[in-house]
Amino acid sequence: MISVVVLGAGNVGSHLVRIMQSVKKVKLVQWYSRDKNSIKSDTKDIELCNDLKNLKTADIYIIAVTDKAIEALSKKLPFENRLVVHTSGSIPLKKIDIKHKRGVFYPLQTFSKSADLEFSEVPFCIETMRKEDSNKLITLAKYMGSPSYMINTEQRQALHLSAVFINNFSNHLYRIAHELSDYKSVNFDVLKPLILETAKKIQSTSPYNAQTGPAKRNDQVTINHHLRTLESHPDYQAIYKQLTNSIKITHGLKKL
């Protein structure tokens, strides 16, 4: 049995609480948020806490707050020499106050409060300064049904940057596509099988080999047509040009 206190009621904290509630080998001791009212709707037999002075003893304290708040919150914790970890992809381990046993428990996945998540599909990137702390976090991930990887700060930051390209930027491109299809009264659902197949394809081949489209084919006629179509959307036209040139460079073709 591993006992845990979760600090933070955002997307990550809420999902961690939900999964830990359902795991027999994890005891969720408390859920901390400055505003207990903001998390009441998510709770079921969970002890809520909004005063750091009232935090109880646990094996692991998971800080799941915004990046800019991690360092300050770790300093305010009214104890020392306990295992305190954060869930950020970009913040160094050493931003946690030195009075604690420091670690990182970074879930490499996209989180939204309203969307259910299967934790078998949530890899945890783990970093600690002591092997016994690593073992605790590896065991916690295992109890949650998640894979785990020992990743240092530089590797984690590279993964986080990669994740921004994979998730945040691609989602923005989905939004642009949604707008363009709506503009011509086309149901966005028509494009969803393509989205799924694109993600499925790179499970068996590299993104480089999976590349298709007019830029890869050097189909300038189609490219010019697309650019004319986007003349009323100059921001999207600029994105189209930038990505087209990047693909052309990658595959040894001449830029626009």
CATH no. of 156-250: 1.10.1040.20
Residue-level pLDDT, tens digit, the chain, 256 residues: 999 999 999 999 999 999 999 999 999 999 999 887 777 656 668 899 999 999 999 999 999 999 999 999 999 999 999 999 999 999 999 999 999 999 999 999 988 877 788 999 999 999 999 999 999 999 999 999 999 999 999 999 999 999 999 999 999 999 999 999 999 999 999 999 999 999 999 999 999 999 999 999 999 999 999 999 999 999 999 999 999 999 999 999 999 8
CA distance 22 to 7: 18
Two tokens at 49? 């806490």
State which fold the 2-151 domain adopts. Rossmann fold (3.40.50)
**Strand ranges (DSSP E) for the chain?**
2-7, 26-32, 48-49, 60-63, 83-86, 101-107, 124-128, 148-150
14 near 42, Cβ under 8 Å? Answer: yes
- Residue showing tokens 């505003």: 35
15 near 117, Cβ under 8 Å? Answer: yes
97 near 120, Cβ under 8 Å? Answer: no
Length of the chain measured in residues: 256
Domain range annotation of the chain: 2-151, 156-250
CA distance 48 to 17: 11
The amino acid at residue 133 is: D
